[in-house]
Structures are given as C-alpha cells and as structure tokens.
Chains A and B, each alone.
Chain A
Amino acid sequence: MIKFLLKGLFRDRSRSLFPILTVFMGVALTVFLYSYLNGFVSDMIKSNAHYSTGHVRIMTQAYSKESNQKPNDLALIGINSLLENIEKEYPDMIWTPRIMFGGLIDIPDEQGETRIQGPVTGMALDLFSQSSAERKLLNIDDALVRGRFPNKAGEILIAEEFANKLKIEPGDTATLLGTTMYGSMATTNFLIAGTVRFGIAAMDRGAIITDISDVQTVLDMQDAAGEILGFFPDDHFHEDKAYQILASFNEQYKNPDDQFSPIMGALPEESGMKEYMDLMNVAVYLIVGIFILAMGIVLWNAGLMGSLRRYGEMGVRLAVGEEKGHIYRTLILESIMIGVTGSFIGTAFGLIPAYLMQIYGLDLSFLFEKSSMMISGVLRAQVTPTTYLIGFIPGTLATVLGTAIAGIGIYKRQTAQLFKELEI
C-alpha cells in the first residue's frame, strides 16, 4: 500500500513537490530561528552568569539592595568559614568568591608621574588555586591576546582594547586607584601580565582581572568578598535546583534583623533577566504555534487544491467501491510521507546554517560598542536535541492537519451523484 502511494507521489509531482517545498521552507526557517534564539538567550545567560551573577549569588542583604553599584563597604566578612560551610552543605555546586571594584588606572611616565589615566572596572577572582574554576569559567586562556596568564601576586590581565587606548603592553606597570572597604583611598602598582579580549563591549572598554588575594590586601578586605558565586558543574542554569538551594540557604543564613547577614539570589532576578527569560520561553512556544497554524492553513489550502485537481480520481475510486474512510486514510498516509520528507529535508537544511553560526558566530560587535549589557558581540546559534524536533514534529503535524481538513470533502461526495458528476 505504502509502495503504491509512494509511486503515486513520485509520478504526480504536483501532489508532492509544492507541499514538500512548503514544509521544507517552514521547517528550515523554524529550525534556524529556534537555534538562533536559543543561542542568543543562552549566550546572554552564560555571559551574565560568568561575568556577573553566577547561577546563584551570595551577598550581604545590604549589598544585595545596591548590588549594581558593587558597594564593597557592605561586603561579606568571614568568607573563608562561609565557603567551608557551603561547600559541605551544597557539594554539587562550584563556589567561588569575587570582588568587583571600580577605580582609576594610572599609567606613569619615565619620571613616575601620570602619563595617562582611565576609569577601570576590576574583577578580582581566585586565579591561582588548583581547585579554582574561574580560569575555565571565563575562558581566560582562549581570550588571551598578548602576554601570558598571571603566575604570581601583583600581576593582572587587562582588556586588549583598553590596553591599546592607554598605550601599554605586557610588562608595563599600572597603578590602580580605588577605594578600600572602609572608604580610604587605595593605591597599588600592578604588573601587566597579558591582555585579553572578553568579547563583551562593556568589559573590553575598560576591565582588568586580578587575583582576589591582591585585591583583598589593597582594598583592606581580608577574609572578605563582595560576592560568592555558585555555578552548576555542567555550566547550565537549572532553575528548579537553583531555587531549592536558594530557599534552603536563605532559611538557614538570612537574618532579617542583620543587614550584613548573607542572602542568596538566583540568576534571573540578579541579572534582571527574569522577565526576559520567561518571555523567551513563551516566545519559543509562540513561534512553534504560529508555525503550525500558518503551515496548517497553507497545506489545508494545498490539500483543497489537490482535492479539486483529483476530484475525478476520488470519484472513480468511490465509484469502483473504495470506501470513503479508506480514501481518507490513504490521503492522510500520503500527507505523513510528504510531511516526514519535507520536515526531514527542512531540518537538515535548517541545521546547516545553525551549526555554522554556532561554530563561527556572526560578529555584530560594532552594534554593541556602547552597550553596557553583559552580552557577547559575536552572536552564535545553539543546536540542542530539541532543535532536531522543533521543526520536524510541527512540519509533519501541519501537513497531516491541512490534509485532514481538506479531505473532509470526500465524505460530502454522494455515491448516487458520482456518474452524473463524472459525466459518464
């Protein structure tokens, strides 16, 4: 039976070519669009998690209220014991302390006086511990443009673009002017070990990476840190798990009467992306829904046109005694074959540009030059297991749906009228 139907489809191209092309184009577009959106959201989540909020973040309650200003005077104190506790209590997470700070980088001339200055955003991380995940999380080795990774205290990495602006290179000395945890002026000299390209305009404009112990000394923050970030080991944000950890941590550690007691926040709220992430989840379903509806209508129309064209064929088949239900089922079977073929080709053709964009990315950094968002300037798609099905299932379903609606006409044919209709 299937062989017979396939023969019919191959021999009568108008029955297969247009519907397959329609399904192919719709599916290819859906697969690519989904991969692109997935990549965009995923990049945004990862950038925010890696550079800003982690998957979960621990701060003091006072700090959390002003966290966008990075108020180190409200930092967590006693982080070593807190880290020890949370590593025992939540061993499935990677915990890492960070200090984010602002200040001024001053580059000396030959006499040791100011040659050039620039405002700087600093990120103090655990660079040297064997167990530290920071180097991998921030992909520092791949981001290195010139010089080398710091290998001792007093060495920093600086954004390549910023280094060019200040006309400095690896091996030069830079003085950091900042503010200690207690408000005093903090100054220290650093040796520039290397330059990095973050790929995030906000950071490439003026960021440095230092070891946390250096900054703890300079900013008078011994055993203190602005934030402790928590990451899931697979580097994916697991919403349910994150909120479970958050609820249990806050129940144990948060003291409403002490503004300096720790509190945990999760990525969606901390990054201000909650509404955006929710919207994106809905958007994916919306795209699929619109796709099924639009394709269903197009294929319904195609089915109707096909029915008109095959009016005589249906009539003869009914006249020779084929049951209406059987004809209807063969039409559905045909549509499944068309849907599967179109969806298969469409998925394959949608995946090709998606994979290319995942590997090579689309460099739109010129659009983000003045952006302060934690978003990469190179847009990348992301192919996930869902990508293989996101176009395939709706593509097949829409074809079947279109045929099923159009095929209802078969049941309206009156056997008694057939000979008159067929003018036999």
Chain B
Amino acid sequence: MKKTLVLMMMMMLLIPISISAQPSGNELLKKVDENRITDTQIATSKMIINGRRGSRTVEAKSWQKGADDSFTEYLAPAREKGTKMLKLGDQLWTYTPSTDRIVLISGHLLRQSVMGSDLSYEDLMEDPLLQNVYNAEIKGEDTLLDRPVWVLELQAKKEDASYDKCKIWVDKERFISLKENLYAKSGKLLKTIDIHEVMEADGRWVAKKALYKDVLKEGKGTAMMIDSIEFNKDLPAYIFSKASLRK
C-alpha cells in the first residue's frame, strides 16, 4: 500500500514535468534559428537547376555575417563566373564583369528567379530569423529521414512577409527543418523545400542536399548542395562593402 502510494505520488509529480517537456512552437522556432544563424559563415555550394530544356550547374562561394549581410561570388559556369552579389540589410546589389556595373536589385526584379533557379531574390532578402517573421504553433509529430520531427505551422507576423503561412517539419533533437511548405495569403502552395541529406559542422546541423521547388513553375526544381561550410571564422570587413564587388 505504501509502495503504491509512493508510486502514485511520483506519477503525479511526473505529469507536469512531461507537459513542460513539450516546447512551444515559438521556442522551437528560436532553437531552429540558433542552429541556423551564426556570427559568420563561409560556404561553397552547387545549385543544379532543372529547367524545361535540361539542367545546368551553378557553383558559388558565399560569405555571411550574422543574419543581415552576405556576399556571394559565382564560380561556374563560365558565363556566370565573376558575377557577384552583395546583400547589406534590406538592399541587394549585383555586379557583372561584362558590364563593370554595380546594379541595385529592387522592385519587381526581386520577384525574378536567381540564376533561373526555383529561388527568387525575394527569398534571399527574407529575414533569416524565423522568429522575427512568424508565430509558430505545433500541429503534430511525424517521422522524416528516419528522424522524429515536430510539425509546426507558421503564421506571418508582418503583412509584407514573402509567405503568409508555412508548414515546417523540425527535427526534434537537431532543430533543423527537414521539410518546408510555403503558402500565399490565399492558402495556395507556392514553394516546397525538401531536405535530402544533413551534415554536422562545428556542432551545428546543416542541410547538405535539398530540393527547392517553385510549385507554380514547370520543371523538376533546383537541387542545392553544400560542398563545404565553416562557421565563426574571422571575416575582413571589406567583404561586405560595395567596393568588394569590383575586386
């Protein structure tokens, strides 16, 4: 009898512990951001763009500082080699060696595709800190890539967010999103992101292979592959200046 009473008391104590063990949607979002955003980041990547008339591969090296600033230099193919892009806060410039011009990308051009891929310049300009843009709610649990995941529904806090609603599948332990569905205000599905492979780098989990698909576009989507990635390296300040575009 005494044993049963102790057991019951222990169970009563454990119930609130197990309830508080389930994080809220916004807490999960914060953890996703913490895994994703670093002080600095240097990455080389490949983008395989599958168009209606065939595929082509674009290679790039990018430097990133915090959530706001990034610099990308395209390395291949020959036609794109030397093209650079600089994002400082909410402004984006591009430089092409053939014109020797630094051009501001703004207005309707932001809605254009990046190098013919399924990503738009607007996607690049979106605030990478999800917690700044969305409120999250846990909608369930699932399994993806043999990993247990939380299914979160994200609702935009701001009117001008690129996607009004998102559904993301977040790894319960690694806090990396393994799948994302992005919706318009009308509820129409606009884009999907499917992570096919993840890797660990400096204690963080990053998507090694992913497929971006613009649902409104014909084609098989754009495959993104990270070749190498380094975090929290010292980056010279000149990289994130317009002068570096012409170097």
Q: B234: which A residues are within 8 A, CB to CB?
A: none
Interchain pairs with CB closer than 8 A, number: 73
Q: Are B83 and A108 in contact (CB under 8 A)?
A: no
Q: Which residue of B lies closest to A71 (CB)?
A: B52
Indicate whether A325 reaches chain B with its CB closer than 8 angstroms: no
Q: Are B83 and A73 in contact (CB under 8 A)?
A: no
Instruction: Known A117-B104, A184-B79; judge A73-B52 contact (CB<8 A).
Output: yes
Q: Could you tell me the distance between the alpha carbons of A113 and B51 in the complex, rounded to whole angstroms?
A: 32
Instruction: Known A182-B51, A182-B53, A220-B79; judge A112-B100 contact (CB<8 A).
Output: yes
Tell me how far the C-beta of B84 lies from the nearest C-beta in chain A, rounded to whole angstroms: 11
Q: B102: which A residues are within 8 A, CB to CB?
A: 112-114
Interface residue from B51, B94, B100 paired with A183 (Cβ < 8 Å): B51
Q: Which of A114, A185, A188, A189 has the most CB of B within 10 A?
A: A185
Q: A188: which B residues are within 8 A, CB to CB?
A: 98-99
Indicate whether B177 reaches chain A with its CB closer than 8 angstroms: no
Q: Which residue of A lies closest to B53 (CB)?
A: A73
Q: Which residue of A lies closest to B58 (CB)?
A: A184
Interface residues of B in 65-102 (CB under 8 A from A): 79-80, 83, 94, 96, 98-102
Tally of B interface residues using CB under 8 Å: 29
Q: B103: which A residues are within 8 A, CB to CB?
A: 106, 114, 175, 177, 187
Q: Could you tell me the distance between the alpha carbons of A62 and B219 in the complex, rounded to whole angstroms?
A: 13
Interface residue from A112, A114, A119, A183 paired with B116 (Cβ < 8 Å): A183
Interface residues of B in 20-68 (CB under 8 A from A): 49, 51-53, 56, 58
Q: Are B107 and A119 in contact (CB under 8 A)?
A: yes
Q: Are A183 and B99 in contact (CB under 8 A)?
A: no
Instruction: Known A112-B100, A182-B53, A184-B80; judge A104-B116 contact (CB<8 A).
Output: no
Q: Could you tell me the distance between the alpha carbons of A74 and B115 in the complex, rounded to whole angstroms?
A: 16
Q: Which residue of A lies closest to B115 (CB)?
A: A184
Q: B53: which A residues are within 8 A, CB to CB?
A: 73-74, 182, 260
Q: Could you tell me the distance between the alpha carbons of A185 and B77 in the complex, rounded to whole angstroms?
A: 13
Q: Could you tell me the distance between the alpha carbons of A62 and B51 in the complex, rounded to whole angstroms?
A: 13
Q: Are B115 and A175 in contact (CB under 8 A)?
A: no
Interface residue from A112, A117, A175 paired with B106 (Cβ < 8 Å): A117
Indicate whether B181 reaches chain A with its CB closer than 8 angstroms: no
Q: Could you tell me the distance between the alpha carbons of A108 and B114 in the complex, rounded to whole angstroms?
A: 22
Q: Which residue of A lies closest to B106 (CB)?
A: A117
Tally of A interface residues using CB under 8 Å: 24
Indicate whether A47 reaches chain B with its CB closer than 8 angstroms: no
Q: A182: which B residues are within 8 A, CB to CB?
A: 49, 51, 53, 56, 116
Q: Which residue of B lies closest to A103 (CB)?
A: B109
Tell me how far the C-beta of B108 lies from the nearest C-beta in chain A, rounded to whole angstroms: 6
Q: Which residue of B lies closest to A77 (CB)?
A: B53
Indicate whether B131 reaches chain A with its CB closer than 8 angstroms: no
Q: B56: which A residues are within 8 A, CB to CB?
A: 182
Q: Are B101 and A106 in contact (CB under 8 A)?
A: yes
Q: B244: which A residues are within 8 A, CB to CB?
A: none
Q: B115: which A residues are within 8 A, CB to CB?
A: 183-185
Indicate whether B228 reaches chain A with its CB closer than 8 angstroms: no
Q: Could you tell me the distance between the alpha carbons of A184 and B79 in the complex, rounded to whole angstroms?
A: 9
Q: Are A180 and B116 in contact (CB under 8 A)?
A: yes
Q: Could you tell me the distance between the alpha carbons of A182 and B108 in the complex, rounded to whole angstroms?
A: 20
Interface residue from A114, A185, A260 paired with B104 (Cβ < 8 Å): A114
Q: Could you tell me the distance between the alpha carbons of A35 and B94 in the complex, rounded to whole angstroms?
A: 54
Indicate whether A64 reaches chain B with its CB closer than 8 angstroms: no
Q: Which residues of B contact A (CB under 8 A)?
A: 49, 51-53, 56, 58, 79-80, 83, 94, 96, 98-104, 106-109, 112-117, 242
Those 6 A-B pairs whose CB atoms lie nearest each other, nearest first: A183-B116, A114-B104, A187-B96, A187-B99, A106-B103, A189-B99
Selected A-B contacts with CB under 8 Å, 19 pairs: A104-B107, A104-B108, A106-B101, A112-B100, A113-B242, A179-B112, A182-B49, A182-B51, A182-B56, A182-B116, A183-B115, A183-B116, A184-B116, A185-B96, A185-B114, A188-B99, A189-B99, A220-B79, A260-B53
Q: Which residues of A contact B (CB under 8 A)?
A: 62, 73-74, 104, 106, 108, 112-114, 117, 119, 175, 177, 179-180, 182-185, 187-189, 220, 260
